[in-house]
Amino acid sequence: MMTLLLNVAVMLGRPAYSKPIDILQPDGTTVTLVMHGDEFQSFTTTADGYTVVKVSDGFYRYAVKQGNVLAASAFVARNAEVREEIRASKEAKKDEFYTLILLMLSLPFNSAFEMPIKRKTCYH
């Protein structure tokens, strides 16, 4: 009877702590993570649902599927609001770049940038 109870206890997996936890990344930023599963099979996501894995450098990185396993991507996991700030900053930089290009294209060429004109030599 005791063996049966122990076997039943082993078969029941304990659920993972499923409340969001703020994790300090090695670069000093924090990311909010949520664990899913039990002691037999588990995975971790950001608060908004992106799967992440912890790698040897200590960072949690976004996961990519390689075959049947999850592997770390090159991108460090960030909270949604930080990702939005980074995206907005990149968009602003891209807009500034294109504005600068359009400005340069709209300026008239001055003699320093014009192609030299090959002049015909006239002998009279």
Half-sphere exposure of 27 (CA within 13 A, CB side): 8
- pLDDT of the residue at 12: 61
> What would the pLDDT profile of 71-119 be if each residue is shown by its tens digit?
998 889 999 888 777 777 777 777 777 777 777 666 655 545 555 555 5
Q: Summarize the confidence of residues 20-38 as an average pLDDT.
A: 91
| Distances, alpha carbon 39 to alpha carbons 35, 46, 56, 59, 62, in Å | 11, 19, 21, 22, 22
Cα dihedral 48, 49, 54, 60 sign: negative
Cα angle 33-36-68, degrees, rounded to a multiple of 5: 105
- The residue written with tokens 């099979």 in the block is 41
- pLDDT of the residue at 2: 46
- pLDDT of the residue at 109: 55
